Structure 1
Amino acid sequence: MAQLLPWLLPVTFLALWQLSVSSGLITSSLVPSPWAVFQDGVDLWQAGTLPTNISISLYRATVGFVIGGGLGFLLGLLNGLSKRSRALLDTPLQMLRNIPHLSLIPVVIILLGIGETAKISLVAIGVLFPIYINTYHGIANSDSELLEMGRSYGLSKWQLFSKIIFPGALPTILMGVRYGLGIMWTTLIVAETMSSNSGIGYMATNAQEFMDMKTVLLCIVLYALLGKLSDLIAKGLESTFLAWRTKGVTIND
């Protein structure tokens, strides 16, 4: 029962939506029913359009996340461990972090054009800062008492990092990964509307021009499902790497 509970509200919403369209409360030409959207998805899948565009969007999202997330992690690690690096790099990074990354679209287009590099770069920029700030915060705020205890036992710098600093920072780092995965998809939605000819965002924009509401809603549902899949991956990483951590206490089950 507990495993089905998270899906209760989405399924209820879909049922009410289907019932409203079937009963005529909502005009089907304006808002198609969930079943019509599903049938549209089946048709596009059989035609090969849907799997092609999903795979392209997944490629852009994955590459952008790896580049931006990897760079954010390395910078957070470097600035968290080194006071000199922190003094040099943290201020400019914090200044850049406060610039809405989607406002950089005109700059990205001028510098990189409208190809794959531009779209992946936007995703990378969006993902970089949440992972950087969480990694930096987790590393820089290591438990000083545990570090002192480690030094008293004669642990080397690498042992202090691998046994105390990094494990202690891991929950915060994974929180940044989870947040970054959400930003990855919201950024990609916008990036794929930039003179694109492929991807889920392109499908939605193209369908909008032809007033094809079934495909527009299908793309929205796809983004929601991919976002949920990303969240499940993040939770899986937390379960794998934080198995040692005591589970949170709930007031009322």
Structure 2
Amino acid sequence: MLTIANQKGGVGKTTTAVNIAAALAVQGLSVLVVDLDPQGNASTALGAVHTSGTPSSYELLLGEITAVEAIQRSPKNDRLMCIPATIDLAGAEIELVSMVAREGRLKTALSSAALDDLQIDFVLIDCPPSLGLLTVNAMVAATEVLIPIQCEYYALEGVGQLLRNIELVQAHLNPRLHVSTVILTMYDGRTKLADQVADEVRKHFGDAVLKSVIPRSVKVSEAPGYGMTVLDYDPGSRGAMSYLDAGREMAARSASMNAATEGTA
């Protein structure tokens, strides 16, 4: 289970969440995207209904419905599922404040036996661009964090604060949480700056950084407007091919980790 987090807006977080999910599903893996952003952009890109009143992550956090009741399957790929976010989620942070075990409500909701029956290979949680209770819930529910970092000036600004928050969650709420994956987005090979940022990120995060880099792409930006991932909108585009490569890389990493775990068991 991966939380896709970066409190800095405009880094390609939601775009990465839906396109990585689609790339994994193309490989035959079963993927669930949990949309925790009240804007509901991930829900839109996956073709999920997310009008107010639709069973969503809001009701899930409040304990009013189960995860299975909230799941919608993507019209493009049966292996790709989504728990949508509606505008109702905008008030959830305030409502959660007074609740018991408020930081662990998503974890409880996603650990139901009914969800296990769906045999989901990957759960990706798309967070809002903030470090509030919704993001904390995502970090408590997951074991891994995927950080998208754009290849632009100030790229690492704000990541330090995110890492400090991850450490706080590790110390007090979820000791298993760690940054497993970093993906470089909005890469423009024509600029020296993009290479400098990529080098800096690789020095800082080492092997956690995927070899696949996501280029700046008009097609990637256009796809959500049509309620699609870029893999459906223009499967031959550079953006789609890059996300496919990134998905393959993540699937291979996961398979080798599972093999290593079974070997030591």
Higher strand share: 2
What's the TM-score once normalised by structure 2's chain length? 0.23
Name the structure where helix makes up a greater proportion of residues: 1
TM-score normalized by the length of structure 1: 0.24
**Which has the higher Rg, Structure 1 or Structure 2?**
1
